[in-house]
Amino acid sequence: MNLRAVQTIYLFEMSRTFRTLLQSILAPVLTTSLYFVVFGAAIGARIPEMGGVSYGAFIVPGLIMLMLLTQSVSNASFGIYFPRFSGTIYELLSAPVSSFELVLAFVGAAATKAILIGLITLATASAFVPLEIAHPVWMAAFLVLTAVSFSLLGFILGIWADSFEKLGFVPLLVITPLTFLGGTFYSLDMLPPFWQTVSLVNPVVYLVSGFRWSFYGAGDVSVVASLAVVAIFLVVGLTAVWWIFRSGYRLKP
């Protein structure tokens, strides 16, 4: 493996984040604070407890997952789209760098950025509510696996998109609504039986539930189902990326 090439591409992608470090840190801090002001204070005052914890603590895993999913997809899609847009992707493809090394560098950088945002969100939330993580190892596993899986999805989106409008379509009009409807701010037990069944079609429900289980030892669905959904996302993403490089889809002129 050409580790020097992987390191170079990875550090180049990470440097874009470090150049806007204040914005990268300030945005999740402000967003998380606003969520706590609106949902934690206004709504949380009317809901004293949910799932055995305060409402403010209950929404923390969902908030982290919301930031993680959107940031993973956005970072990876923009990371690979700009080389295609500028034409430098052909220099990378002609260099002595394998497709696996390219994906490892781009997806690794996007996942790293998303995990950092997730940890910043967690630190910000801990300033508003007391948090106890029941299963820290599983929390870290969910964090990393979800970031990698959705960074792969973002990488695929960046290959597929042929305009900036398409880049924003999936994060804004697909990922964010599914996350809001995936139990981020409520428990599925609060819904009528019919809508509980409908919600189970939403894959984000399993991600949020599994991540919440790692915090409080309880979720809307079993942790085994949550892990299975994360594994499916990971396998589908790897398969799609393998096919893209094998077929040259949108990479070859």
- Per-residue pLDDT tens for 218-246? 889 999 999 999 999 999 999 999 999 88
Position 3, amino acid: L
Distance linking the first and last C-alpha atoms of the chain? 27
How far are the Cα atoms of 37, 75, 199 from residue 6, in angstroms, in the given order? 42, 17, 40
pLDDT of 30 reads 83
Q: What DSSP assignment string belongs to 128-171?
A: TS----S-HHHHHHHHHHHHHHHHHHHHHHHHH-SSHHHHHHHI
Other Cβ atoms less than 10 A from the Cβ of 85: the count is 16
Smallest CA-to-CA distance from 117 within 153, 64, 40 is with 64
- Per-residue pLDDT tens for 121-156? 898 888 888 888 999 999 999 999 999 999 999 999
pLDDT of 93 reads 81
Query: Binning pLDDT at 50, 70 and 90, where does residue 185 land?
Result: confident
Cβ 24 vs Cβ 119: under 8 Å: no
What is the sign, positive or negative, of the torsion defined by CA atoms of 203, 207, 209, 210? positive
Residue 162 predicted with pLDDT over 90: no
pLDDT of 44 reads 64
